[in-house]
Protein backbone atom coordinates (compact mmCIF):
# COMPACT_ATOMS: atom_id res chain seq x y z
CA UNK A 1 0.00 0.00 0.00
CA UNK A 2 1.29 3.44 -0.89
CA UNK A 3 2.01 6.05 1.81
CA UNK A 4 2.28 8.81 -0.79
CA UNK A 5 -0.28 11.50 -0.09
CA UNK A 6 -0.77 12.87 -3.61
CA UNK A 7 -2.84 15.89 -2.49
CA UNK A 8 -3.21 18.54 -5.23
CA UNK A 9 -2.04 21.88 -3.84
CA UNK A 10 -0.83 25.14 -5.32
CA UNK A 11 1.72 27.54 -3.89
CA UNK A 12 0.13 30.76 -5.10
CA UNK A 13 2.51 33.30 -3.62
CA UNK A 14 5.38 34.01 -1.24
CA UNK A 15 6.53 37.00 0.79
CA UNK A 16 9.35 38.07 3.06
CA UNK A 17 10.26 40.89 5.39
CA UNK A 18 13.47 41.45 7.32
CA UNK A 19 14.31 44.47 9.50
CA UNK A 20 16.80 46.93 8.03
CA UNK A 21 19.43 46.82 10.77
CA UNK A 22 22.31 44.45 9.96
CA UNK A 23 24.39 43.06 12.84
CA UNK A 24 27.62 41.48 11.59
CA UNK A 25 29.91 39.01 13.33
CA UNK A 26 32.39 41.87 13.66
CA UNK A 27 29.74 43.92 15.50
CA UNK A 28 29.24 40.96 17.85
CA UNK A 29 32.96 40.87 18.63
CA UNK A 30 32.27 44.12 20.52
CA UNK A 31 29.33 42.59 22.45
CA UNK A 32 30.64 39.20 23.67
CA UNK A 33 33.92 37.27 23.72
CA UNK A 34 33.71 35.86 20.20
CA UNK A 35 35.26 36.23 16.75
CA UNK A 36 34.02 36.36 13.18
CA UNK A 37 36.27 33.37 12.52
CA UNK A 38 34.65 31.25 15.29
CA UNK A 39 31.09 32.07 14.22
CA UNK A 40 31.82 31.55 10.51
CA UNK A 41 33.61 28.21 10.87
CA UNK A 42 31.23 26.77 13.51
CA UNK A 43 27.96 27.95 11.95
CA UNK A 44 28.37 29.60 8.51
CA UNK A 45 26.62 32.74 9.78
CA UNK A 46 28.15 36.11 8.79
CA UNK A 47 25.39 38.56 9.73
CA UNK A 48 21.78 38.75 10.90
CA UNK A 49 18.96 41.31 10.97
CA UNK A 50 17.76 42.92 14.19
CA UNK A 51 14.39 44.59 14.74
CA UNK A 52 14.52 48.11 16.09
CA UNK A 53 11.13 48.39 17.73
CA UNK A 54 9.13 46.41 15.17
CA UNK A 55 7.05 43.63 16.72
CA UNK A 56 6.73 40.06 15.47
CA UNK A 57 3.21 40.92 14.28
CA UNK A 58 4.63 43.84 12.23
CA UNK A 59 7.12 41.55 10.48
CA UNK A 60 4.48 38.84 10.00
CA UNK A 61 2.00 41.33 8.52
CA UNK A 62 4.53 42.69 6.00
CA UNK A 63 5.58 39.22 4.83
CA UNK A 64 1.94 38.06 4.74
CA UNK A 65 0.79 41.09 2.73
CA UNK A 66 3.49 40.51 0.12
CA UNK A 67 2.50 36.83 -0.16
CA UNK A 68 -1.19 37.67 -0.67
CA UNK A 69 -0.35 40.30 -3.31
CA UNK A 70 2.03 37.85 -5.00
CA UNK A 71 -0.80 35.28 -5.03
CA UNK A 72 -3.12 37.78 -6.71
CA UNK A 73 -5.71 37.28 -3.97
CA UNK A 74 -7.72 39.70 -1.87
CA UNK A 75 -7.35 39.44 1.91
CA UNK A 76 -11.05 38.47 2.12
CA UNK A 77 -10.29 35.30 0.14
CA UNK A 78 -7.97 33.91 2.84
CA UNK A 79 -9.80 31.48 5.11
CA UNK A 80 -7.02 30.57 7.53
CA UNK A 81 -3.91 32.33 8.85
CA UNK A 82 -1.32 30.21 10.66
CA UNK A 83 1.66 32.00 12.20
CA UNK A 84 4.58 29.85 13.34
CA UNK A 85 6.51 31.77 15.99
CA UNK A 86 8.49 31.32 19.19
CA UNK A 87 8.73 35.02 19.90
CA UNK A 88 5.10 36.23 19.81
CA UNK A 89 4.39 39.84 20.83
CA UNK A 90 2.55 38.35 23.82
CA UNK A 91 1.51 34.77 24.67
CA UNK A 92 -2.06 35.94 24.17
CA UNK A 93 -3.43 37.44 22.09
CA UNK A 94 -1.51 35.55 19.43
CA UNK A 95 0.30 37.10 16.49
CA UNK A 96 -2.05 35.58 13.89
CA UNK A 97 -5.24 37.43 14.98
CA UNK A 98 -3.28 40.72 14.89
CA UNK A 99 -2.14 39.90 11.35
CA UNK A 100 -5.72 38.99 10.42
CA UNK A 101 -6.85 42.42 11.60
CA UNK A 102 -4.00 44.34 9.89
CA UNK A 103 -4.66 42.53 6.61
CA UNK A 104 -8.43 42.93 6.82
CA UNK A 105 -8.78 39.19 6.27
CA UNK A 106 -12.36 39.30 7.50
CA UNK A 107 -13.22 35.71 6.56
CA UNK A 108 -10.15 34.07 8.08
CA UNK A 109 -9.54 32.10 11.25
CA UNK A 110 -6.16 32.83 12.80
CA UNK A 111 -3.91 31.12 15.33
CA UNK A 112 -0.26 30.75 16.26
CA UNK A 113 1.68 27.50 16.06
CA UNK A 114 4.48 27.08 18.58
CA UNK A 115 6.69 24.06 17.95
CA UNK A 116 10.20 25.50 18.22
CA UNK A 117 11.88 26.20 14.91
CA UNK A 118 9.86 23.29 13.44
CA UNK A 119 6.72 25.41 13.82
CA UNK A 120 7.15 26.28 10.13
CA UNK A 121 6.82 22.65 9.02
CA UNK A 122 4.01 21.99 11.52
CA UNK A 123 2.11 25.02 10.17
CA UNK A 124 2.74 23.99 6.55
CA UNK A 125 1.53 20.45 7.27
CA UNK A 126 -1.63 21.75 8.93
CA UNK A 127 -2.27 24.05 5.97
CA UNK A 128 -1.84 21.15 3.53
CA UNK A 129 -4.10 18.92 5.68
CA UNK A 130 -6.81 21.58 5.92
CA UNK A 131 -6.70 22.07 2.17
CA UNK A 132 -6.58 18.34 1.41
CA UNK A 133 -9.63 17.71 3.60
CA UNK A 134 -11.61 20.45 1.87
CA UNK A 135 -11.88 22.48 5.09
CA UNK A 136 -9.87 25.47 3.78
CA UNK A 137 -9.31 26.88 0.28
CA UNK A 138 -6.64 29.57 0.69
CA UNK A 139 -4.29 29.44 3.68
CA UNK A 140 -1.72 32.08 4.59
CA UNK A 141 1.18 30.45 6.43
CA UNK A 142 3.72 32.75 8.05
CA UNK A 143 6.89 32.18 10.05
CA UNK A 144 7.89 35.26 12.03
CA UNK A 145 10.39 35.95 14.79
CA UNK A 146 11.84 38.82 16.77
CA UNK A 147 14.18 36.59 18.74
CA UNK A 148 16.53 39.49 19.47
CA UNK A 149 14.15 40.51 22.31
CA UNK A 150 14.40 37.13 24.09
CA UNK A 151 18.08 36.40 23.48
CA UNK A 152 20.60 36.88 26.27
CA UNK A 153 23.05 39.34 24.72
CA UNK A 154 25.64 38.39 27.35
CA UNK A 155 25.58 34.67 26.37
CA UNK A 156 27.94 33.98 23.47
CA UNK A 157 26.57 30.42 23.16
CA UNK A 158 23.25 31.72 21.85
CA UNK A 159 23.39 35.40 20.86
CA UNK A 160 25.62 34.82 17.83
CA UNK A 161 23.18 32.33 16.27
CA UNK A 162 19.80 34.00 15.94
CA UNK A 163 18.24 36.76 13.82
CA UNK A 164 14.88 38.43 13.19
CA UNK A 165 12.71 38.05 10.10
CA UNK A 166 9.47 36.79 8.59
CA UNK A 167 8.49 34.77 5.54
CA UNK A 168 5.12 33.70 4.18
CA UNK A 169 3.42 31.40 1.69
CA UNK A 170 -0.12 31.34 0.33
CA UNK A 171 -1.20 27.74 -0.23
CA UNK A 172 -4.32 26.98 -2.15
CA UNK A 173 -6.54 24.11 -3.19
CA UNK A 174 -6.99 23.08 -6.78
CA UNK A 175 -5.36 21.37 -9.66
CA UNK A 176 -2.55 23.65 -10.78
CA UNK A 177 -0.04 20.86 -11.26
CA UNK A 178 1.41 21.05 -7.75
CA UNK A 179 1.14 18.14 -5.35
CA UNK A 180 1.92 17.32 -1.70
CA UNK A 181 3.80 14.01 -1.67
CA UNK A 182 4.62 13.62 2.03
CA UNK A 183 4.37 15.42 5.36
CA UNK A 184 5.91 13.92 8.48
CA UNK A 185 6.04 15.48 11.95
CA UNK A 186 7.96 14.11 14.92
CA UNK A 187 8.76 15.04 18.51
CA UNK A 188 11.02 13.74 21.28
CA UNK A 189 9.88 15.40 24.49
CA UNK A 190 12.53 13.58 26.51
CA UNK A 191 14.92 16.23 25.13
CA UNK A 192 12.77 19.17 26.20
CA UNK A 193 15.57 20.70 28.27
CA UNK A 194 17.83 21.19 25.22
CA UNK A 195 16.31 24.54 24.19
CA UNK A 196 14.08 26.51 26.52
CA UNK A 197 12.89 29.86 27.77
CA UNK A 198 12.48 28.83 31.40
CA UNK A 199 10.52 31.57 33.13
CA UNK A 200 7.59 33.94 32.78
CA UNK A 201 4.70 31.50 32.76
CA UNK A 202 3.12 28.68 34.79
CA UNK A 203 6.20 26.65 35.70
CA UNK A 204 8.36 29.63 36.71
CA UNK A 205 6.23 32.75 37.08
CA UNK A 206 8.17 36.00 36.77
CA UNK A 207 9.88 36.99 40.00
CA UNK A 208 12.92 38.98 41.06
CA UNK A 209 14.77 35.65 41.22
CA UNK A 210 13.90 34.66 37.63
CA UNK A 211 14.99 38.08 36.40
CA UNK A 212 18.25 37.97 38.40
CA UNK A 213 18.94 34.45 37.01
CA UNK A 214 18.32 35.65 33.43
CA UNK A 215 15.62 32.97 33.05
CA UNK A 216 13.54 35.12 30.69
CA UNK A 217 16.03 34.51 27.88
CA UNK A 218 16.59 31.54 25.57
CA UNK A 219 18.85 28.87 27.06
CA UNK A 220 20.32 26.17 24.85
CA UNK A 221 22.54 23.11 25.12
CA UNK A 222 23.96 23.77 21.66
CA UNK A 223 26.21 20.77 21.47
CA UNK A 224 23.41 18.40 22.58
CA UNK A 225 21.13 19.88 19.90
CA UNK A 226 23.87 19.44 17.33
CA UNK A 227 24.39 15.77 18.22
CA UNK A 228 20.66 15.01 18.37
CA UNK A 229 19.96 16.55 14.97
CA UNK A 230 22.91 14.84 13.31
CA UNK A 231 21.64 11.54 14.70
CA UNK A 232 17.96 11.74 13.78
CA UNK A 233 17.73 13.96 10.70
CA UNK A 234 19.49 11.94 7.95
CA UNK A 235 17.56 8.68 8.49
CA UNK A 236 14.32 10.64 9.05
CA UNK A 237 14.73 12.39 5.69
CA UNK A 238 15.40 9.01 4.00
CA UNK A 239 12.12 7.81 5.49
CA UNK A 240 10.17 10.87 4.27
CA UNK A 241 11.59 10.47 0.74
CA UNK A 242 10.57 6.83 0.82
CA UNK A 243 7.01 7.77 1.84
CA UNK A 244 6.94 10.31 -1.00
CA UNK A 245 8.18 7.54 -3.32
CA UNK A 246 11.01 9.75 -4.46
CA UNK A 247 14.74 9.15 -4.41
CA UNK A 248 17.05 11.86 -3.04
CA UNK A 249 18.13 12.56 -6.64
CA UNK A 250 14.54 13.33 -7.63
CA UNK A 251 14.27 16.14 -5.07
CA UNK A 252 15.26 19.33 -6.93
CA UNK A 253 15.61 21.60 -3.88
CA UNK A 254 16.49 20.92 -0.25
CA UNK A 255 15.37 23.71 2.04
CA UNK A 256 16.85 23.09 5.46
CA UNK A 257 16.26 25.00 8.64
CA UNK A 258 19.01 27.63 8.46
CA UNK A 259 20.63 26.85 11.80
CA UNK A 260 24.10 25.58 11.05
CA UNK A 261 26.01 25.01 7.79
CA UNK A 262 27.76 21.98 9.25
CA UNK A 263 24.41 20.25 9.88
CA UNK A 264 23.25 21.01 6.32
CA UNK A 265 26.52 19.77 4.78
CA UNK A 266 26.37 16.60 6.89
CA UNK A 267 22.90 15.68 5.61
CA UNK A 268 23.80 16.48 1.99
CA UNK A 269 26.92 14.33 2.24
CA UNK A 270 25.02 11.45 3.75
CA UNK A 271 22.33 11.62 1.03
CA UNK A 272 25.03 12.16 -1.64
CA UNK A 273 23.39 15.37 -2.86
CA UNK A 274 25.37 18.33 -4.25
CA UNK A 275 25.52 21.52 -2.19
CA UNK A 276 23.97 23.42 -5.13
CA UNK A 277 20.63 21.71 -4.43
CA UNK A 278 20.41 23.33 -0.99
CA UNK A 279 19.04 26.83 -0.60
CA UNK A 280 21.29 28.61 1.88
CA UNK A 281 20.82 32.07 3.35
CA UNK A 282 21.98 31.60 6.93
CA UNK A 283 25.10 33.61 6.10
CA UNK A 284 22.86 36.68 5.64
CA UNK A 285 20.11 36.12 8.20
CA UNK A 286 21.38 33.65 10.83
CA UNK A 287 18.89 31.32 12.43
CA UNK A 288 15.49 33.00 12.16
CA UNK A 289 13.84 30.00 13.82
CA UNK A 290 10.31 29.35 12.51
CA UNK A 291 10.84 31.91 9.72
CA UNK A 292 14.02 30.49 8.24
CA UNK A 293 12.68 28.04 5.66
CA UNK A 294 10.11 30.56 4.42
CA UNK A 295 12.85 33.16 3.82
CA UNK A 296 14.94 30.60 1.92
CA UNK A 297 11.97 29.39 -0.15
CA UNK A 298 10.94 32.94 -1.06
CA UNK A 299 14.49 33.94 -2.08
CA UNK A 300 14.89 30.88 -4.31
CA UNK A 301 11.50 31.43 -5.97
CA UNK A 302 12.16 35.11 -6.60
CA UNK A 303 15.66 34.65 -8.04
CA UNK A 304 14.34 31.96 -10.39
CA UNK A 305 16.12 28.95 -8.92
CA UNK A 306 12.90 27.14 -7.92
CA UNK A 307 10.62 26.77 -10.92
CA UNK A 308 7.19 25.39 -11.67
CA UNK A 309 7.25 21.59 -11.59
CA UNK A 310 10.25 21.39 -9.24
CA UNK A 311 10.11 19.03 -6.28
CA UNK A 312 10.97 20.70 -2.98
CA UNK A 313 11.78 19.25 0.43
CA UNK A 314 11.43 21.57 3.43
CA UNK A 315 12.73 20.37 6.77
CA UNK A 316 13.32 21.84 10.21
CA UNK A 317 14.13 20.95 13.82
CA UNK A 318 13.90 22.81 17.09
CA UNK A 319 12.85 23.14 20.70
CA UNK A 320 10.80 20.29 22.03
CA UNK A 321 12.71 18.63 20.50
CA UNK A 322 10.59 18.61 17.38
CA UNK A 323 11.42 17.90 13.76
CA UNK A 324 9.56 17.42 10.52
CA UNK A 325 9.59 17.59 6.74
CA UNK A 326 7.26 18.15 3.82
CA UNK A 327 7.86 17.24 0.18
CA UNK A 328 5.79 18.90 -2.53
CA UNK A 329 5.99 19.97 -6.15
CA UNK A 330 5.06 23.36 -7.56
N1 LIG B 1 32.53 32.41 20.29
C2 LIG B 1 33.64 31.78 20.72
N3 LIG B 1 33.62 30.64 21.40
C4 LIG B 1 32.41 30.11 21.70
C5 LIG B 1 31.23 30.71 21.29
C6 LIG B 1 31.30 31.92 20.57
N7 LIG B 1 30.22 32.57 20.15
N8 LIG B 1 30.19 29.96 21.72
C9 LIG B 1 30.72 28.91 22.36
N10 LIG B 1 32.06 29.00 22.35
C11 LIG B 1 33.04 28.08 22.93
C12 LIG B 1 32.46 27.26 24.05
O13 LIG B 1 32.48 27.99 25.26
C14 LIG B 1 33.42 26.08 24.08
O15 LIG B 1 34.58 26.47 24.78
P16 LIG B 1 35.31 25.45 25.79
O17 LIG B 1 35.71 24.28 24.93
O18 LIG B 1 36.43 26.27 26.28
O19 LIG B 1 34.26 25.11 26.79
C20 LIG B 1 33.81 25.91 22.61
O21 LIG B 1 33.45 27.14 21.96
C22 LIG B 1 33.12 24.75 21.93
O23 LIG B 1 31.75 24.79 22.27
P24 LIG B 1 30.74 23.75 21.66
O25 LIG B 1 29.38 24.06 22.16
O26 LIG B 1 31.25 22.35 21.85
O27 LIG B 1 30.88 24.11 20.11
P28 LIG B 1 30.18 23.44 18.88
O29 LIG B 1 31.16 23.03 17.89
O30 LIG B 1 29.14 22.44 19.30
O31 LIG B 1 29.40 24.68 18.25
C32 LIG B 1 27.17 25.53 18.18
C33 LIG B 1 28.42 25.35 19.01
C34 LIG B 1 26.11 26.17 19.06
C35 LIG B 1 27.47 26.43 17.01
C36 LIG B 1 26.70 24.15 17.66
O37 LIG B 1 26.69 23.23 18.72
C38 LIG B 1 25.34 24.22 17.06
O39 LIG B 1 25.12 24.86 16.04
N40 LIG B 1 24.37 23.50 17.64
C41 LIG B 1 23.04 23.49 17.15
C42 LIG B 1 22.33 24.67 17.71
C43 LIG B 1 21.09 24.96 16.97
O44 LIG B 1 20.97 24.70 15.81
N45 LIG B 1 20.14 25.50 17.70
C46 LIG B 1 18.94 25.94 17.17
C47 LIG B 1 18.04 24.80 17.04
S48 LIG B 1 16.58 25.39 16.37
Q: Is 43 in the pocket of ligand 1 (CB under 6 A)?
A: yes
Q: Once rounded to an integer, what is the mean pLDDT over residues 12-35?
A: 98
β-pairing, 322-329 vs 311-318, is antiparallel
| pLDDT, tens digit (0-9, with 9 covering 90-100), for 108-156 | 999 999 999 999 999 999 999 999 999 999 999 999 999 999 999 999 9
Mean pLDDT of the chain: 96
Position 177 scores a pLDDT of: 82
Per cent of the chain over pLDDT 70 is 99
Q: What is the pLDDT of residues 272-319, one digit of tens each?
A: 899 999 999 999 999 999 999 999 999 999 999 999 999 999 999 999
In ligand 1, which atom is closest to the CA atom of 118? 48
Q: Tell me: the pLDDT tens digits for 163-179? A: 999 999 999 998 778 99
Contact 122, 105 (CB under 8 A): no
Q: Is 228 in the pocket of ligand 1 (CB under 6 A)?
A: no
Atom of ligand 1 nearest to the CA of 160: 7
Q: Tell me phi and psi for residue 293, to 5 degrees.
A: -70, -30
| pLDDT at site 223 | 95
Whether 124 lines ligand 1, by a CB cut-off of 6 Å, is no
Whether 277 and 103 have beta carbons less than 8 Å apart is answered as no
Question: Best mutation site among 42, 258, 316 for ligand 1, i.e. most ligand atoms within 8 A of its Cβ?
Answer: 42
Of 148, 218, 161, 164, nearest to 38 (Cα)?
161
- Our answer on whether the CB atom of 141 is closer than 6 Å to any ligand 1 atom is no
Euclidean distance between the first and the last CA atom of the chain, given in angstroms as a whole number: 25
Nearest CA to ligand 1 atom 9: 157
34 touches ligand 1 (CB under 6 Å): yes
Question: By C-alpha distance, which of 120, 86, 84 is closest to 99?
Answer: 84
Q: Which residues are annotated as catalytic?
A: 117, 257, 287
Residues 6+ apart with CB under 8 A from 212: none
Could you give the CA distance from residue 268 to residue 184 in angstroms, rounded to a whole number?
19
How far away, in angstroms, is 171 Cα from ligand 1 center? 37
Tell how strand 109-113 and strand 138-145 pair up.
Answer: unpaired
Ligand 1 pocket, 170 CB below 6 A?
A: no
Distance, CA 156 to ligand 1 centroid (Å)? 8
Confidence of residue 1 (pLDDT cuts 50, 70, 90): very low
Ligand 1: which residue has its CA nearest to atom 32? 222
Amino acid sequence: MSDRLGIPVRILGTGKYVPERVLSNFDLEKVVDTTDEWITTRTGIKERRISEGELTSDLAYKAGLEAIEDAGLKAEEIDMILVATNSPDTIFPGVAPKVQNLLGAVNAGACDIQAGCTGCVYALSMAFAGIGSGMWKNVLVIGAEVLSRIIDWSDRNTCVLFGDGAGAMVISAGKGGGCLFAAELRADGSKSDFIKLPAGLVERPASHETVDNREHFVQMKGNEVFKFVNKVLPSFLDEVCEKAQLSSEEIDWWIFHQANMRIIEGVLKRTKQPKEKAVINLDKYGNTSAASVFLAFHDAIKDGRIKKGDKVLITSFGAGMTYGAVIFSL
